[in-house]
C-alpha cells in the first residue's frame, strides 16, 4: 500500500474497509430497485462507488486519491487497486472454472462465429473512434486540448474505457508520446462509466424487447461434447472440501501467464508489448483446469458453491475498486463532448455486434449476448447476464469471444495512435 503522507496505520486500513463495505451495502440496495423489470443489479454497486468517489474523494495535485475533507491526506489508490485486482482474479477464475467443462465443445462448434464476432465488435469500436476523431476536427477538440496528437490520445483513452479494456488502456499509454499519457487516463475514466452501465442495461433490455422465451433460449445453450470425458473409477483426493486449493492453483498459474510479455515493436521489451494480463491469464488457465477437473487422483475442481460465492464477491469487489477512483477522476476531468464520444464507442460496436451475430452468424440469443459481453470485454455485464439468463452456461460464450477481443482491441488502440 503506497502512502501520500505518513505511515500505514490501522486507522487508514479500517477507513478503507469501512468505505468498501458501506458501498457494498448501499450498492446492493440500489441495484435491487426495478423499473419495468429492469434493474442495475450488481452494477448498482458500481454506481454507488462512483458517487462515493465523486462526493468524498479527490485526486490532488500530486495524483493521490484522498478524502476531500481530510486534514491528513492519505493515498487510497493502492488499497483500492489491490481490491480491484483481487476482485478481478476471483471473478474471472470462477468464470473459467464454471465454463471449463462445456467450453471446448461450445468453442469447437462455434469457433468461426466467435472469432468473427470478436473482430467485428472491436473493429466497429475502432471505426467509431475514427469517426469521433474526424468529428473533433470539425467542431473542435475541446477546451483543454489544442493539438491533434493530444486529441487522439484522449480518443484512444475513451475507446479503452468504452470497452472497459485495461490491456488497451495500458497499450495506448505506452504508444502515445509521454506528454499525452495523462489524456489517455482521463479519457479512459470518462468513458468507463457508460462502458459498464451501457452493456449491463443492454443485456437486460434485449431479451425483453425481443420477448424471448428464456426456457427455450436456455435449452439452446446445451452443448453435447464431441467426446465423453473419461471418468475416474477410483476415489478422488480432495486437498480441501471447498476446492480453494485448486482455485488458488489456477490463480497462481494464471497470474504468471498474464505477466509474459510479447514484444510488438523492434524495441523489444522496452517498447510496446502484448500480454494476456492477469485477467486473460487466469481465465485461460481456469478454463483448462475446469475442463480436465483433476490431476490423476487429485481433484482440482472447486465446489459449485465456492465458485458462485467467489464469482459474486469478485465482481462487486472489482466494481468498488474501479468505481471510487473513477468517480473522483470523472468529476476532475469531465467534458460533455468526451462523454458523448464514449457513449458512441460503446453503443455502436455493441449494436453492430448483436445484429451481426443474430442475422449473419445465426447465434441463439443467449450465445449472442454472452459473446457480446466477451467482445465488449465487459466483466460486470457477464455477471448481469448470468442473472438475467438464469444459467451460468452463458459464461462459455463470453470466455470464447473474450480472448479474441482482448488481442484485437490492443492492436486497434495502437494502430489509431500510429495512423493519426
pLDDT for the residue numbered 226: 39
pTM, full prediction: 0.75
Q: Calculate mean pLDDT across residues 197-212.
A: 90
Name the pLDDT band for 403 (thresholds 50, 70, 90).
confident
Better-predicted residue by pLDDT, 414 or 381: 381
Intra-chain end-to-end CA distance of the chain, in Å:
38
When the pLDDT of each residue in the chain is averaged and rounded to a whole number, the result is 83
Q: Calculate mean pLDDT across residues 300-306.
A: 93
Share of the chain above pLDDT 70, in %: 87
pLDDT for the residue numbered 2: 43
Q: Examine residue 370 and state whether it is found in any structural domain, yes or no.
A: yes
> From start to end of 324-408, where are the E strands?
none
Question: Please, which residues bridge with residue 262 across strands?
Answer: 274
Question: Please, which residues bridge with residue 274 across strands?
Answer: 262
Contact 389, 99 (CB under 8 A): no
Q: Examine residue 344 and state whether it is found in any structural domain, yes or no.
A: yes
When divided into structural domains, the chain yields a total of 1
Q: Examine residue 193 and state whether it is found in any structural domain, yes or no.
A: yes
4-32 core/surface letters (b: 16 or more CB in 10 A; e: else) = beeeeeeebeebbeebbeebbebbeebbe
Q: Examine residue 274 and state whether it is found in any structural domain, yes or no.
A: no
Contact 81, 71 (CB under 8 A): no
Q: How far lies 76's CA from each of 123, 149, 181, 300, in Å?
A: 36, 32, 21, 36
Residue 94: name the closest of 301, 371, 255, 377 by CA: 301
Q: Examine residue 356 and state whether it is found in any structural domain, yes or no.
A: yes
According to DSSP, the β-strands at 237-238 and 298-299 are parallel
pLDDT, tens only, 339-373: 899 999 999 999 999 999 999 999 999 999 999 99
Q: Decide if pLDDT at 131 tops 90.
A: yes
pLDDT for the residue numbered 159: 93
pLDDT for the residue numbered 227: 40
Q: Calculate mean pLDDT across residues 78-84.
A: 86
Q: Decide if pLDDT at 230 tops 60.
A: no
Q: Examine residue 36 and state whether it is found in any structural domain, yes or no.
A: yes
Better-predicted residue by pLDDT, 123 or 319: 123
Name the pLDDT band for 223 (thresholds 50, 70, 90).
low
Q: Examine residue 273 and state whether it is found in any structural domain, yes or no.
A: no
C-beta neighbour count of 333 within 10 angstroms: 18
Containing domain of residue 199, as a range? 10-223+280-419
pLDDT, tens only, 87-115: 989 988 998 898 888 778 777 777 888 88
Q: Examine residue 246 and state whether it is found in any structural domain, yes or no.
A: no
pLDDT for the residue numbered 186: 77
Amino acid at each position: 500500500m503506497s502512502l501520500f503522507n505518513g505511515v500505514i496505520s490501522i486507522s487508514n486500513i479500517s477507513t478503507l474497509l469501512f468505505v468498501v463495505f458501506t458501498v457494498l451495502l448501499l450498492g446492493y440496495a440500489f441495484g435491487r430497485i426495478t423499473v419495468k423489470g429492469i434493474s442495475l443489479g450488481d452494477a448498482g454497486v458500481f454506481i454507488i462507488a462512483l458517487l462515493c468517489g465523486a462526493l468524498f474523494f479527490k485526486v490532488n495535485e500530486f495524483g493521490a486519491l484522498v478524502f476531500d475533507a481530510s486534514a491528513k491526506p492519505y493515498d487510497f489508490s493502492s488499497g483500492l487497486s489491490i481490491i480491484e485486482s483481487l476482485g478481478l482474479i476471483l471473478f474471472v477464475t470462477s468464470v473459467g472454472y464454471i465454463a471449463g467443462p462445456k467450453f471446448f465443445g461450445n468453442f469447437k462448434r462455434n469457433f468461426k462465429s466467435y472469432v468473427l464476432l470478436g473482430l467485428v465488435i472491436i473493429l466497429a469500436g475502432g471505426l467509431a473512434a475514427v469517426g469521433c476523431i474526424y468529428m473533433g476536427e470539425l467542431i473542435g477538440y475541446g477546451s483543454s486540448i489544442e493539438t491533434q496528437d493530444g486529441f487522439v490520445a484522449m480518443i484512444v483513452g475513451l475507446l479503452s474505457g468504452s470497452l472497459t479494456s485495461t490491456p488497451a488502456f495500458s497499450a495506448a499509454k505506452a504508444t502515445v508520446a509521454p506528454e499525452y499519457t495523462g489524456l489517455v487516463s482521463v479519457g479512459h475514466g470518462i468513458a468507463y462509466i457508460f462502458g459498464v452501465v451501457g452493456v449491463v442495461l443492454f443485456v437486460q433490455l434485449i431479451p425483453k424487447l425481443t420477448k424471448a422465451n428464456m426456457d427455450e433460449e436456455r435449452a439452446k445453450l446445451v452443448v453435447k461434447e464431441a467426446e465423453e470425458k473419461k471418468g475416474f473409477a477410483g476415489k478422488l483426493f480432495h486437498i480441501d472440501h471447498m476446492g480453494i486449493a485448486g482455485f488458488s492453483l489456477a490463480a497462481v498459474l494464471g497470474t504468471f501467464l498474464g505477466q509474459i510479455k510479447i514484444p510488438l515493436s523492434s524495441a523489444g521489451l522496452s517498447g510496446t508489448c502484448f500480454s494476456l494480463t492477469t485477467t486473460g491469464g487466469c481465465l485461460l488457465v481456469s478454463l483448462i483446469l475446469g475442463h480436465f477437473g483433476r490431476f490423476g487422483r487429485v481433484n482440482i475442481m472447486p465446489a459449485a458453491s465456492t465458485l458462485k460465492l467467489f464469482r459474486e464477491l469478485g465482481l462487486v469487489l472489482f466494481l468498488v475498486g474501479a468505481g471510487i477512483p473513477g468517480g473522483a477522476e470523472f468529476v476532475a476531468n469531465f467534458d460533455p463532448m468526451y462523454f458523448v464520444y464514449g457513449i458512441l464507442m460503446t453503443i455502436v460496436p455493441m449494436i453492430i455486434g448483436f445484429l451481426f451475430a443474430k442475422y449473419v452468424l445465426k447465434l441463439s440469443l443467449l450465445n449472442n449476448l454472452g459473446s457480446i459481453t466477451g467482445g465488449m470485454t465487459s466483466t460486470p455485464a457477464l455477471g448481469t447476464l448470468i442473472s438475467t439468463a438464469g444459467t451460468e452456461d452463458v459464461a462459455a460464450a463470453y470466455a470464447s469471444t473474450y480472448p479474441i477481443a482482448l488481442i484485437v482491441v490492443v492492436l486497434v488502440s495502437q494502430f489509431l495512435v500510429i495512423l493519426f
